Structure 1
Amino acid sequence: MTETIAFSGKILCEATLELGEGPTFDPATGTAWWFNIKGKELHALHLESGRKTVHPLPFMGSVMAIIDPEQQLIASDQGLFIRNTQTGAFKAYATLEDNPENRSNDGRMHPSGSLWIGTMGRRAEKGAGAIYHVAKGTVTKLYSNISIPNGICFSPDGSTGYFVDSAVNYIMKVALDPETGLPTGDAAVLSDQSGNPGDVDGSVCDADGLIWNARWGQGAVDVYTPDGMRVARYAVPATQSSCPAFIGAKADRLLVTSAWQDMDAKARAADPNAGKTFELGALVKGRFEPIYRP
């Protein structure tokens, strides 16, 4: 069993979010971004100054991709939108599904400039969701019958994709065309985590190809090798750790979101940091997220 490394980081943001998710970092502005999905909020933290801003959303957003200094691509329960960073205005971009019972969840940018984004039922209904590939406005369904899409990330060269259905807890691996981010073969199980406590949640892949995964229900970030071996576990001071992102001028720090979703008053009292946003405290060899090319 992998020894758990004690938390040596800090709380980046004290706000307690029902479902903190979808973090990313914009190196051009030095700003970390993440969502409170259930609260319909977009959070922004300028790392150097500590200036925090919360932007109310007209929908349940879950993933952001940077396009350029004036535009961001936002995935939501109402589809994909382009957000103007100066005015905050939204422009419809593409439809994911014609199903009001679903919402977007986990996603990540591929090195080709395409986006993988997952959908799920609002109450995590079994098999209600899917995982999609989005490139230049074209939406392609990759995988159906997904309950809770998570763990989407890519090897540094773009030749391998990873994802998980948290209801099943098999970390999946699939060969990709590095030029497009589309699969070139069938997905296979990389690591069977179904018998272990907690759920495989959001992931990022570092410059060495290691997979950093937030373990929902265990208050941890796990580190896997490209062949599926778990080689480290870092403690996070909130049980429902949800998603990591590389931050900082050198992408050598790790932000981790968390949530208090489905916790009653007793559980929240026992987990006072639930929903806060953390810096892990470990030095990482991260990568900046690719920009989306509309």
Structure 2
Amino acid sequence: MEEVPTSVLSDDPCHLGEGPTYDLSSDTAWWFDIREGRLFEAHLGSGSIRVHALGRMASGLGRIDAERQLIVAEDGLYVRKLADGALTLVCPLEADNPGTRSNDARVHQSGTFWIGTMGRNAEAGAGAIYAFHRGKISMLFPRITIPNSICFSPDGATGYFADTARAVLYAVPLDPATGLPRGEPDVLLRHTGIGGLDGSVCDADGQIWNACWGAGRVDVYSPQGERLRSLRVPAKQSSCPAFVGPDLSRLLVTSAWQDMDAAARAADPQAGCTFLLQASARGRAEPDVKLA
């Protein structure tokens, strides 16, 4: 396990911290507490942090432009105005199924948004992975139990996703111009040992940085599925990484205290905190999502 200089960005513990992203133009990181319906906004240069109540569970965010974001929520996709936080429904997502909610999500270089859903109690096969492309939602992969690790190679020609329940990370060929599949997913790696595959992000060299839930670490894999590094995270339930900072070399990692009793939380006092790791990464900026 590699130890790198690590600090606490936010000590406000998230029930289920997820979905971090970073807006390079404003030096602002965003992430969610899914279970509590909260959106965190952190300006890294000043250290200022704001918490926004969304009134619903949400798990992912894509920047539209300097004034708007697209929020992935339990019942649909919403445009959020930064000026006042107002939410406007763009399209529903499994809104007729109260047994599911959104989970992992990430924007492809083309502006297409991949979004995962899952059962609220992680029911087997209750979820799916969708694409929001040119203003419309389409299902890509059905019967997913816990969708995670959605990310894309630097050239946009390969997409990755995991089903945490199956302990498998898949790679699928994509059309770089649209972010839509051109073939079937293949198994890239099977996770073994402690923990499970949670959120991932892909760096400028095509390496996949994966938060290992239950193991308190971030694993770095080659595009061939070989594990290259393991970086310690000071909370057992590390959930999702994002590249942050002016040179995108640091790693923001969310965590969670979900399903931990009093004894488990006492043994893991930083569970739910959000961390900054001096990872010496060669990160990539997140692309904007396209509404149409």
Give the TM-score of the pair, scaled to structure 1.
0.97
Answer whether contact 1:202 1:242 (CA < 8 A) is retained.
Answer: yes
Displacement after TM superposition at 1:28 (Å) = 1.6
- Structure 1: which 5+ residue stretches go unaligned? none
Contact 1:14 1:277 in 2 (8 A): yes
Once the two structures are superposed, residues 220-248 of structure 1 have per-residue CA deviations (whole angstroms, 9 ceiling, x without a partner) of 00000000001110000000000000111
What code does the residue aligned with 1:226 have? P
Residue of structure 2 in register with 1:113 after alignment? 111
Where 1:68 maps in the other structure, the secondary structure is coil
Distance in 2 (alpha carbons) for counterparts of 1:82 and 1:106: 18
Distance in structure 2 (CA, Å) of the matches to 1:21 and 1:182: 24
2:97 to 88, 95, 99: 99
1:127 matched residue in structure 2:
125
Q: Is the 8 A contact 1:7 1:236 kept in 2?
A: no
**Residues in 2 aligned to 1:263 and 1:272: alpha-carbon distance in whole angstroms:** 11
Instruction: Identify the residue that residue 66 of structure 2 maps to in structure 1.
Output: 69
Counterpart of 1:258? 255
Shift of 1:9: 1.2
| Equivalence for 2:185 | 187
Residue 224 of structure 1 is matched in structure 2 by 221
**Where has structure 1 moved over 2 Å in runs of 4 or more?**
none
Distance 1:196 1:73 in 2: 36
Aligned-partner Cα distance in 2 for 1:196–1:123: 23
Match in the other structure for 1:248: 245
* Residue in structure 2 matched with residue 30 of structure 1 by the alignment: 27
Name the CA distance, whole Å, in 2 between partners of 1:49 and 1:269.
31
Identity of aligned residues (%): 54
| Residue 75 (structure 2) pairs with residue 78 (structure 1) | yes
Q: Distance in 2 between matches of 1:146 and 1:95?
A: 19
Query: 1:286 matched to which residue of 2?
Result: 283
Give per-residue Cα distances to partners, 1:135-180, cap 9 Å, x unaligned.
Answer: 1221110001101000000000100000000000111000000000
Q: Is 2:146 aligned against 1:143?
A: no
- TM-score, scaled relative to structure 2: 0.98
Pairing of 1:154-233 with structure 2 (within 5 A): 154-193=152-191, 195-233=192-230
Contact 2:249–2:278 under 8 Å retained in 1: no
Q: Secondary structure at the match of 1:94?
A: strand
Q: In structure 1, how many angstroms separate the alpha carbons of the residues matched to 2:257 and 2:41?
A: 20
In structure 2, what is the Cα distance between the partners aligned to 1:101 and 1:36?
Answer: 19
Does the 8 A contact of 1:245 with 1:255 survive in 2? yes
1:272 is aligned to 269
Partners of 1:239 and 1:30 lie apart in 2 by: 28
Q: SS of the counterpart of 1:209?
A: coil
8 Å Cα contact 1:213-1:221 kept in structure 2: yes
Tell me the CA shift for residue 71 of structure 1: 0.5
RMSD: 0.7
Instruction: Give CA deviations for 1:80-137 in whole Å, capped at 9, x if unaligned.
Output: 0000110110000112213111100001110000000000011111100000011122
CA contact (8 A) 2:76 2:92 kept: yes
Q: CA deviation at 1:7?
A: 4.1
Give the deviation of 1:8 after TM superposition. 2.0
Q: Which runs of 5+ in 2 are unaligned?
A: none
Greater displacement, 246-255 / 202-211: 246-255
